[in-house]
Amino acid sequence: MNSYNDKTEDWRLYEAGKQYNNRLEPNYYDTVDANYEFFHGNQWRNVKAENIPKPTFNIIKRITQFLVASLTSSKIKLHFEPLPFFQQPTEDGQISGADIANAQTSSLFEKFKMDFKIKEALFDAAITGDSCAHFYFDVTKKPYGSLSEVRGEIGFELVDGSNVFFGNANNSNVDSQPYIIVSGRDMVRNLREQAKRYNQKESEVNSITNDYNYQEQTSDSGKIEVDADEYGKALYIIVYRKKKVKRVKKDEQGNEMLDESSNPVTEEVETIVASKSVENAYIFKDVDTGLSHYPVAWLNWEKQKNQYHGRALCTGILPNQIFINRMFAMVMYHLQMTAFPKTVYNADVIASWSNEIGQAIAVRGMGANENIKNIAGYLEPGNMSNRIESVIDLAMQYTKETLGISDAALGNVDPKNTSAIIAVQKSTAIPLENPKSNLYEWIEDIGKILLDFMGTYYGIRPVSVDQNGGKVVVEYDFSQFKDLFLDIRADVGESSYWSEIASIQTLDNLLNNGHIDIIEYLDRTPDEYIPQKEELISSIKERMQQATQPASPEQLIAMLPTDEQQAFMNASPEQQQEILAQLQMQMQQSQAPAPM
């Protein structure tokens, strides 16, 4: 163990964060480990009773899976819109910055496998109370392969809540933190190579050695590693801080601004600097990231007052789970002890007793008038109270109901009265409103971070955008995002199957009664219901536009029967003009929309 003076300044902040977690009641690390083990079914890990059954009826896992599935039953999408007072007028067909942000964010979500990541983050939050999205920029990646020389891509990883430390632990707001620490474990070889890329001294590089600082890693499995030569791991920390620096101002074209003496004009801006270190050596220090926001999005399952850690779903169910397991264990033990009655016999008359089937038992010294039933018999086992089973059932039932898991939510109902089902589903979903709001806030924070990353690192690069029902590729200078003001919103579809059906039925009725046209109908229909919806809308608009154009004389004549075409050719010019006018009027009347 290194002495206090050998440790880096950042490492002391990390140890202060661990000390804070250990001071929480109950102990934060013990709570997280217990929650994970209970979720995975290892619910008797600290019980050393060898002679009793250890049943596991894992209601924690069932409840957590259901609630996470309920929160993610609809696809979540980020949407960027210009703020009304910052919106610049655009010409028809011109692609705006908001369009670029929407297209690029959608592409990144596909690369991140965001639907799966959201589920994984919610499981972490439900089990431990917290989940963290950590972003970085990987300069070695080529996002377009050999098609372009553009380098660099935004990276994304989920970090356990136990590996994130806030400078102000009594506040869960990320932007207000004086610093944020993200810890992890990596191969010593990788950490040394990274230190060399940042031109660290040889003594600093050699100071990076394998360690066994994994006691605070999440779950019991995080504390077991491969112990092999050249594959050792070391604990590292990344410290993000806010710092004010001076930068040269640039004009709208990106050129440096100069004063009257041709000196660069500077301005003081707040930026995020990053330092990465192990216990006694820096890998890099105070690197200016150029970012305006911390690259960390923090998610709580349920926020707690004056604490950045959230309260986990599993924490509140643990006592119920322990009670259910214990009661079942005692019932099983009682059955084992009393299922087969014990034999009692007179040893003065019978020397030994055999339980073998069909085995004869010799009896000596028995008088002729004695009853054989007085020689041997069976003890009556004590009866178990019938209330035990009902109490176990009530414990399971009340646990589910207090968490909003009813028969209507599970779909165990006859769907005859859909209005009643919708009302019951909405009432049972009330306990999920707080986690749902936290999830949407987390997604919007991710959008803010992605916008910051693109504006800082992307530069000029191609991007694919939807336009007029098709895909177009444009070159865009993403540095404009640094001065672009956009409103970020998490768009979420209906989570209820019945709500979707009701919405579609309403649209059908509006269309059938002539209150909306086909274009308005398609615009409001969810994308998953109609494949290639944008292409279909574009095709219908094109046909409608062609239909509104006046037909040529040749087209009008072709509409006439053969004999009438011959009569038209033999008619005078004045008669031909009159016939064409009548045909044109008939065509317009046939294309006119029906009255509403």
Half-sphere exposure of residue 470, counting CA atoms within 13 Å on the CB side? 5
Q: 412: pLDDT confidence band, cut at 50, 70 and 90?
A: low
Is the distance from CB of 66 to CB of 470 less than 8 angstroms? Answer: no
What pTM value is reported for the model? 0.75
The runs of H, that is alpha helices, within 184-242 are: 188-197, 202-206
Burial class of residue 228, CB neighbours in 10 A (0-12, 13-18, 19+): exposed
pLDDT digits over 170-193, tens only?
A: 999 999 999 999 999 999 999 999
Q: Hey, what amino acid is at 26?
A: P
pLDDT of residue 404: 75
Of residues 49 and 290, more confidence is placed in 290
Q: Hey, what amino acid is at 278?
A: V
pLDDT at 13 over 50: yes
- Please name the helix (run of DSSP H) or strand (run of DSSP E) that holds residue 455, with its range, or none: none
Rounded to 10 deg, the angle between the 433-453 and 59-71 helix axes is 60
Structure tokens, 468:
């007029």
Ramachandran bin of 411, using left for φ above 0, alpha for ψ from -120 to 50, beta for the remaining angles: left
Strands 282-288 and 266-277: antiparallel
Structure tokens, 300:
């709580």
Strands 486-492 and 76-82: antiparallel
What is the average pLDDT across 82-91? 59
Return the minimum-mean-pLDDT range out of 8-12, 69-73, 211-215, 449-453.
Answer: 69-73
For the chain, how many residues are written? Answer: 596
Residue 478: DSSP 8-state: G
Distance separating alpha carbons of residues 596 and 590, to the nearest angstrom? 16
Is the distance from CB of 479 to CB of 254 less than 8 angstroms? Answer: yes
Preceding peptide of 26 cis, ω within 30°: yes
Q: How many CB atoms lie within 10 A of CB 404?
A: 19
Distance separating alpha carbons of residues 178 and 159, to the nearest angstrom? 20
pLDDT of residue 497: 43
Closest CA to 435 of 295, 310, 321: 310
pLDDT at 498 over 50: no
Of residues 530 and 437, more confidence is placed in 437
pLDDT digits over 204-233, tens only?
A: 899 999 999 999 999 888 888 888 777 899
Q: 5: pLDDT confidence band, cut at 50, 70 and 90?
A: low
Task: Please give the mean pLDDT across all residues of the chain.
Answer: 83
pLDDT digits over 129-160, tens only?
A: 999 999 999 998 888 887 778 889 999 999 99
pLDDT of residue 61: 93
pLDDT of residue 535: 80
What is the average pLDDT across 372-383? 76
Tell me which residue has tokens 């800082």.
456
Which range, 116-125, 431-440, 500-509, is most confident? 116-125
pLDDT at 592 over 80: no
Is the distance from CB of 296 to CB of 134 less than 8 angstroms? Answer: yes
pLDDT at 16 over 80: yes
Q: 450: pLDDT confidence band, cut at 50, 70 and 90?
A: very high
pLDDT at 307 over 90: yes
Distance separating alpha carbons of residues 64 and 165, to the nearest angstrom? 26
Q: 595: pLDDT confidence band, cut at 50, 70 and 90?
A: very low
Of residues 345 and 415, more confidence is placed in 345
pLDDT at 116 over 90: yes
Structure tokens, 350:
């019978």
pLDDT of residue 596: 40
Q: 593: pLDDT confidence band, cut at 50, 70 and 90?
A: very low
**In this prediction, what percent of the chain has a pLDDT beyond 70?**
86
Return the minimum-mean-pLDDT range out of 38-42, 498-502, 574-578.
Answer: 498-502
Greatest alpha-carbon span in the chain: 144
pLDDT at 11 over 90: yes
| 296: helix, strand or coil | strand
Rounded to 10 deg, the angle between the 59-71 and 28-39 helix axes is 90
Distance separating alpha carbons of residues 317 and 414, to the nearest angstrom? 30
Of residues 450 and 553, more confidence is placed in 450
Distance separating alpha carbons of residues 119 and 126, to the nearest angstrom? 10
pLDDT of residue 135: 97
pLDDT of residue 379: 75
Give the C-alpha distances (Å, rounded to integers) separating 351 from 330, 346, 362: 36, 8, 8
Distance separating alpha carbons of residues 121 and 159, to the nearest angstrom? 9
Distance separating alpha carbons of residues 531 and 545, to the nearest angstrom? 23
pLDDT of residue 380: 73
User: What is the side-by-side order of every strand in the sheet holding 130-138?
Assistant: 153-159, 130-138, 296-300
Q: 301: pLDDT confidence band, cut at 50, 70 and 90?
A: very high
Distance separating alpha carbons of residues 52 and 486, to the nearest angstrom? 62
Rounded to 10 deg, the angle between the 114-128 and 313-338 helix axes is 70
Is the distance from CB of 151 to CB of 142 less than 8 angstroms? Answer: yes
Structure tokens, 435:
């986690």
pLDDT at 591 over 60: no
pLDDT of residue 422: 53
